[in-house]
Amino acid sequence: MKAVFIPFNQAYRERLIVILDKMNIRGFTLWEHVQGRGTKTGEPHYGSHAWPTLNSSILTVIPDDKVNKLLETIHQLDKETEKQGIHAFVWDIEKMV
């Protein structure tokens, strides 16, 4: 099992949930209002007057065999609209109850 953490511009919310549904990834945790900025490009997402956009984040734990397809789909989405901002980070899950 792998944990996939996906921070993204709020504009991606509905599209990302559709992606998870199509891949039959049912379980996830969603944080609606997350602040941050990318490491290389893009504008900060602080929810302030100067930087009004915000991010959201999803954490999902999925079987190893679904990870590559999810990452490829997220990467393709990012390439289509690079200024919006979306990433995915993967960790091993040792145990789960």
Q: Does residue 84 form part of some domain?
A: yes
Domain with 52, as residue range(s), is 2-92
Q: In this predicted structure, what is the pLDDT of residue 58?
A: 98
Instruction: Give the per-residue pLDDT at 37.
Output: 84
Domains identified in the chain, total number: 1
Whether 56 and 8 have beta carbons less than 8 Å apart is answered as yes
* CATH number, residue 68: 3.30.70.120
pLDDT at 85: 87
In a domain, 7, yes or no: yes
Q: Kindly report whether the global pTM for this prediction surpasses the value 0.75.
A: yes
97 within domain boundaries: no
Q: Give Cα 6 to chain centroid, integer Å.
A: 2
Contact 77, 86 (CB under 8 A): yes
Residue 71 lies in a domain: yes
Residue 45 domain-assigned (yes or no): yes
Express each pLDDT in 27-54 by its tens digit: 999 999 999 887 777 788 899 999 999 9
Q: Is 87 helix (H, G, I), strand (E, B) or coil?
A: coil
Tell me if 20 is assigned to some domain: yes
Tell me the average pLDDT of the chain. 93
Place of tokens 């990302």: 16
